[in-house]
Structure 1
Amino acid sequence: MPSYELIPGCTSPQNKICSDDHAKICTILLPHPQLIDINLCVTGSWDLFPKQWWDRIELNFKRRMMDNHQILIGVLALAGLAAVYGSPYERLGLPLNATEDEIFAAYRQISSYWGTETLYNQSEIKQIIQIEHAYQLLSNNDTRRDYDYFNIDDLQEDVAQALKQYEEEGDMVEIRSPVFESTVFGKKIFSTANDLTMANFGELVMQSSDPWLIQIFSHVNPDSRRFSPTWDKIVELLEGVVRVGRLELSQLELALILAERNWLNGYPFFRNGLPAIIAVPPSCSKLDCIKRYYGEKTADAVSDWMGSRLLKFPRIMYYSAQALV
């Protein structure tokens, strides 16, 4: 039975921490923003995680520190607002490996110039909101993780709403404290589906003779939250037909494994954003046979895809009473 464990300093198959050198591959996946390397030591079946697959992981993700202010990372290229105001790190004047204390100190220094009784024009308000956006994104471990590793900004909707509210107040306005309040923090998305982890994925999913439908999501992602009722309906519709599970991005190592790869640079991403939906066919013993869903995120569409495309069930056409007249 496969087993998975995080081993500090596990950097080569010769590392003796793993007892079975013939069935173990060790690789550095990604450096954490705080410069804590995530090292994954895998023991178990080579069929589940073939060596060629891990070699690609190491090739694409092994990065080195250049100096105290620069680290090679390719998932910070946000379009839109970032193109104008820079990345959250740039807005606060911070390196990508900034600590929590450094993030707070930079924000406190910048925000100390904001007068609560001062009127600001809309251009200044936008800059202030972007500073607040950067601070809230980077000061929360979950939103920072989603941004650093998967290029997902969970606060975009809050920022857009704040910009709209300030614009409606007039050309010259005072700023509030806080500048805007996020709606994503402090809430968990509950489900009756199986929670998947690095510890149970190999045995529960990859060694299963049953098909699996899996949602990849984040507790702090607004789209994941809106999808929750739809997911509950999918679980109900597919009960007894397939096994259903979900993976939260806090299970970072497994999320990196199941993410797609940018064909230009190899970095992880989810093509249709979050939540991402994948399916594992029966007796799928290799990651190459995992299927990805790119269609409409409705209960009927996902269930139909799972039944007709994955399980090869015959499609039953339904017609309204008006269509049959």
Structure 2
Amino acid sequence: MSRGAMASFASTARTYALPGILVSMAVVWQLFILPKTFPRSHYEVIGVKSNSSSDEIFEAYERLTSEWKSNKDVDIVTENVIEVQHAFEVLSNELRRRDYDLFNVDELQDIAKITKKRYVGEKISRLELPLLKTFEDDLHFMDDDSKVLTSQNFGGMLRDEMTWLIQVYSLGSASCQKFSPSWKRIVTWLDGVVNTGKVELGEVQIAAYLAERNQVTGHPFFRYGLPSLVAFPANCRNFDCLLRYSGELNVDAIVDWIATDILGLPRILYYSPEALVRDVIRKPAPHKVKVIFFSRTGHRAAPFLRQAAKDYQEYASFAFVLWQEENAQLWWNLFEMESAPAIVFLKDPGVKFVHYGAINSSDFKSLMEQHKTHALRQLRSITSMDLGCDPRGHSPAGNGSFPWYCVVIAGKPGFKLSKAREVLRSVQDNLTNEAITDAVDISSAPFSLVAAQAFKEKRLSLGWLDGVAQKKYCFFYLSSENVTETCGPRNYEEEEDVPKLFLVRYQRNISEDNVKVDKRFKPAWDLMKEDVSGLASQLVAKYNGSMEVPEILSWISKIIKEGDSKDLPYYMNNVGTDVPKPEPSITDEIPQDASQALESDTESEE
């Protein structure tokens, strides 16, 4: 045979020999190595078949133990003695045997290992039986509000758009009983944020679906034992997106896993008193209400609080503080709060609200809706439409064609703007508290009631503007020679701050009142290309009087009375020199892109 032919034969032999070698190795693994790798089943230890009756198991156990039970003070504990006892305690109980047969769940396994280390070599009389002393046939599980999942309702759960957390448990498990109070707390903490359910191992089809599969035997099992926690994220429809919890079985860790890893909710940090004042209370973003939680436990924020922090991030900043008695006087001086747990809402300068005691999800959501904005709201892109201070929208009263008004105080953040906001807030309080029983005839009503009636009808809104963060919008309305006193950054430390008050009158064209208004933000160049007749025209009046509440109320009422009774010019674009000026009370026309100036300012502000 030639050298080339010999090489070809050798290559062919290697090609066909390799699969044969692998097959031989697999046979050796199955026959000799695998049985030694996996421990004997409990049935093999007792010496019975897996379908044996309870009586047969008991008889086999008695035969194995009769000899060493009669010589307790002589015989020595061996590993086999403990294995027999272990097997019997599992197989002699109906629920434990079911869990073992179906899912290889065995709570005695770790106890048996500890027992071997402690008693092997000792006299049998010293062995304490049964191994699982804490186990009782009548285990008591606490009632909770989680949904019991069965084969009848499980499919509906998978169609739910919310996140689900499911506990797989056994009524025969002491570990699950021990976890029961913790599960009840978890269900309470997750209320309103995550749906919770539980599956008992007796629901074999569902439990098998939620279990893992042994890669060698294909048998369903729970890697981390029972109870087992699995989560279906929102819109998860199949097994591939199921997530398993592998951490410690404590409430704080489980809830944090759900909130952080599953829901992606922000953490609410704890602050020391010094850091709270420095990083939260004095932090920029004056448009946001400060929500401060005082806790006596130091626990992480409940998921519904973290969900609120996410949902209301445009409106509020959130912080946690650990209540300590040595700081009680400090919190009294700052917030006039007396004890914890408590929630403090810091709103306008000098305005706060304190809620004492624990709170649930629905009550906290109600509090947030009530206190999410300042008492005097800041005019921003997310509030301008609600306030009716946007030409693309309507007054808070609805889609009527009547005129409506926005009164705004603008200035650079600081003491003077805070005082001006307090004055305008007093004006708002006066309008709110004014008793109006019947509809007011605008044409004949005294000034004191005209503004109050408009406020009651939701045709009048009041707000404030940050002249630094929202400089473009501020310049837009207050363009004048000395406008830098109110709008724009501080260039010099000695520069004077002068808050200014102005009123914008909005009027929708009556002939165009059926035009559908697209409220989505559009750049100025897009508006130029389309019909803007659905937008409201704007006229502005600037206030030059003293910052006294009666004078401001009189000024607002006078403008509203004139604006409601006179047919003022309707402007859609910039005023040309040939267009007549409006009445003296309303001095300047405002072009239609005011809302876009507001959008551009608030984007940079965030």
TM value normalised by structure 2? 0.36
Aligned match of 1:198: 151
SS in 1 for 2:67: coil
8 Å CA contact retained: 2:161, 2:235: yes
Structure 1 residues 290 and 180 mapped into 2: Cα distance closer, same or farther (>3 Å)? closer
Aligned partner letter, 2:153:
N
- What amino acid sits opposite 2:152 in the alignment? A
Equivalent residue pairs, number: 242
> Partner residue of 2:88?
135
Shift of 1:257: 0.9
> How far apart are residue 153 of structure 1 and its match?
1.1
Which of these residues, 144, 154, 160, is aligned with residue 97 of structure 2? 144
1:258 Cα deviation after fit = 0.8
User: Are 1:119 and 2:70 counterparts?
Assistant: no
Q: Which amino acid aligns with 1:200?
A: N
Distance 1:185 1:274 in 2: 17
Does residue 219 of structure 1 match 2:171? yes
**Relative to structure 1, is the Cα distance of residues 173 and 113 closer, same or farther in structure 2, using a 3 angstrom cutoff?**
closer
Relative distance call for 1:181 and 1:244 in structure 2 (3 A) is closer
| Matching of residues 251-270 of structure 1 within 5 Å | 251-270=203-222
Question: 1:185 corresponds to which residue?
Answer: 136
Of the three residues 214, 230, 239, the one matched with 1:278 is 230
- The residue correspondences of 1:292-311 to structure 2 (distance < 5 A) are 292-311=244-263
Would the alpha carbon gap of residues 121 and 322 (structure 1) be closer, same or farther in structure 2, given more than 3 Å must change? farther
- CA deviation digits over 1:81-135, x for unaligned, max 9? x84xx331121111223222321221122233344454234434x4333222211
Deviation per CA, 1:177-230: give whole Å up to 9, x if none.
Answer: 965564223213233122212222112x11223221111122333332332232
Change (3 A) 1:314 1:129: same
Letter in 2 for 1:109: R
Amino acid at match of 1:291: L
Letter in 1 for 2:82: I
Counterpart pick for 2:61 among 80, 94, 107: 107
CA 1:90 to 1:263, structure 2 compared with 1: closer, same or farther past 3 Å?
A: closer
Q: Report the 3-state secondary structure (helix = DSSP H, G, I; strand = E; otherwise coil) of the residue aligned with 1:296.
A: coil
SS in 2 for 1:110: helix
Contact kept, 8 Å, 1:78 with 1:151, in 2: the verdict is no
1:265–1:322 CA distance, 2 compared to 1 (3 A): farther
1:207 corresponds to which residue?
Answer: 159
In structure 2, distance between residues paired with 1:119 and 1:274: 37
Q: Distance in 1 between matches of 2:50 and 2:274?
A: 60
Q: CA RMSD in A?
A: 3.3
81, 97, 116: which one pairs with 2:51?
97
Once the two structures are overlaid, the 10-residue window that deviates more, 110-119 or 278-287, is: 110-119
- Structure 2 Cα separation of the partners of residues 276 and 286 of structure 1: 18
Contact 1:78–1:87, Cα closer than 8 Å, also in 2 = no
Rounded to whole Å, the distance in 2 between the matches of 1:95 and 1:177 is: 28
Q: Name the counterpart of 1:233.
A: 185
SS of residue paired to 1:105:
helix
- Selected match of 1:172 from 123, 126, 148: 123
Aligned residue type for 1:155: L
User: What is the CA–CA distance in structure 2 between the aligned matches of 1:323 and 1:104, rounded to whole Å?
Assistant: 67
What secondary structure sits across from 2:168 in the alignment? strand
Structure 1 pair 152–78 and aligned structure 2 pair: CA distance change class (3 A): farther
Please give the alpha-carbon distance, in whole angstroms, between the structure 1 residues aligned to 2:65 and 2:124.
17
Q: Which has the higher helix share?
A: 2
Note if contact 2:142-2:181 (Cα within 8 Å) is conserved in structure 1. Answer: no
TM-score (norm 1): 0.63
The change in CA–CA distance for 1:323 and 1:223 in structure 2 (over 3 A counts) is farther
Contact persistence 2:111–2:131 (CA under 8 A): yes
Query: Equivalents in 1 of 2:237, 2:132: separation in Å?
Result: 45
CA distance in 2, matches of 1:113, 1:173: 11
Cα 1:285–1:157 shift into 2, 3 Å: closer
Alignment of 1:52-63 (within 5 A): none
| Cα distance change, pair 322–180 in 1 and its aligned pair in 2 (3 A) | farther
Larger Rg: 2
User: In 2, Cα distance between the equivalents of 1:180 and 1:281?
Assistant: 40
Work out which structure has the larger RCO, using CA pairs closer than 8 Å and 6 or more positions apart in sequence.
1
Residue 158 of structure 1 contacts residue 182 of structure 1 at CA under 8 Å; is this kept in 2? no
Identity %: 38
Structure 1's unaligned 5+ residue stretches are 1-75
Q: Distance in 2 between matches of 1:234 and 1:78?
A: 42
Letter in structure 2 aligned against 1:298: N
Which runs of 5 or more structure 2 residues have no equivalent in the other structure?
A: 1-33, 279-606
Contact 2:82/2:116 (8 A) holds in 1? yes
